[in-house]
């Protein structure tokens, strides 16, 4: 199991065509237009993870990464896709769909709990422990620490296995179609965030 760090773009042809790719992002903070995109993490479910780092003042050209993210024949797996989709759209200019979101799936099947964080999902569904210690660290510095790299990689390491288990539960509870409709809407939910409706539920009565 190896974590590879790439600067400004992925190498071409890294992943088999059509393979689903787990995607996560690290930014300088939670306000997308203010807080620049620093890192995109990717995994095809195999033993390695790939990190693409963007420096301050990056032009975010990244043609190989953009082609991968925009590929309509390749599912992208996220945990809380809404945030990553907005960051990717804002900085890389692509809609990184088709989408699968493990947090959304969890909300639709794990109705017995309000704990839908990645750490909790990995613990309950896969019986493994991941640390969230580096979550709020400085992703914009010139060197990423080994702890940061491992943390960043762990955010995409389990998403394929989580999807398998969540899909079983979605089918069991007859909510697979509802989940798919939610996943399909997520790029638009991210567009609403970017367009000025970040915390407003436009479906609410008041
Ligand atoms: Mn992350």
The domain spanning residue 174 has which CATH number?
A: 3.30.420.10
Residue 90 alpha carbon to ligand 1 centre in Å: 17
Residue 100 alpha carbon to ligand 1 centre in Å: 16
**Pair of tokens at residue 63:** 């043609």
Q: How many domains does the chain have?
A: 1
- Residue 22: band (very low, low, confident or very high) from pLDDT cuts 50, 70, 90: very high
Residue 197 alpha carbon to ligand 1 centre in Å: 23
Instruction: Please give the pLDDT value at position 43.
Output: 98
Q: Give residue 167's domain range.
A: 2-136+145-195
- Residue 144: band (very low, low, confident or very high) from pLDDT cuts 50, 70, 90: very high
Residue 27 alpha carbon to ligand 1 centre in Å: 9
Residue 181 alpha carbon to ligand 1 centre in Å: 24
Residue 201 maps to a domain: no
**Pair of tokens at residue 103:** 């947090």
Residues 57-68 have pLDDT tens digits of 999 999 999 999
Residue 164 maps to a domain: yes
Residue 182 maps to a domain: yes
Residue 79 maps to a domain: yes
Residue 133 alpha carbon to ligand 1 centre in Å: 11
Residue 132 alpha carbon to ligand 1 centre in Å: 9
Residue 203 maps to a domain: no
């Amino acid at each position: 199991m190896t974590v590879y760090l790439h600067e400004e773009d992925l190498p071409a042809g890294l992943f088999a065509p059509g393979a689903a790719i787990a995607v996560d992002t690290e930014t300088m903070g939670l306000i997308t237009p203010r807080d620049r995109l620093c890192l995109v993490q990717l995994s095809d479910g195999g033993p390695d993870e790939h990190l693409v780092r963007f420096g301050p003042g990056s032009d975010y050209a990244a043609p190989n990464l953009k082609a991968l993210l925009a590929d309509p024949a390749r599912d992208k797996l996220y945990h809380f896709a809404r945030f990553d989709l907005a960051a990717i759209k804002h900085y890389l200019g692509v809609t990184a769909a088709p989408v699968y979101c493990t947090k959304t799936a969890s909300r639709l099947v794990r109705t017995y709990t309000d704990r839908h964080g990645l750490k909790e999902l990995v613990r309950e569904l896969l019986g493994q422990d991941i640390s969230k210690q580096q979550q709020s660290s400085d992703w914009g510095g010139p060197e990423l620490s080994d702890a940061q790299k491992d943390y960043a990689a762990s955010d995409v390491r389990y998403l394929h296995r989580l999807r398998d288990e969540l899909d079983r539960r979605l089918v069991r509870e007859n909510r697979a179609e509802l989940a798919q409709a939610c996943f399909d809407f997520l790029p638009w939910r991210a567009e609403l965030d970017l367009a000025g409706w970040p915390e407003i539920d436009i479906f609410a009565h008041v």
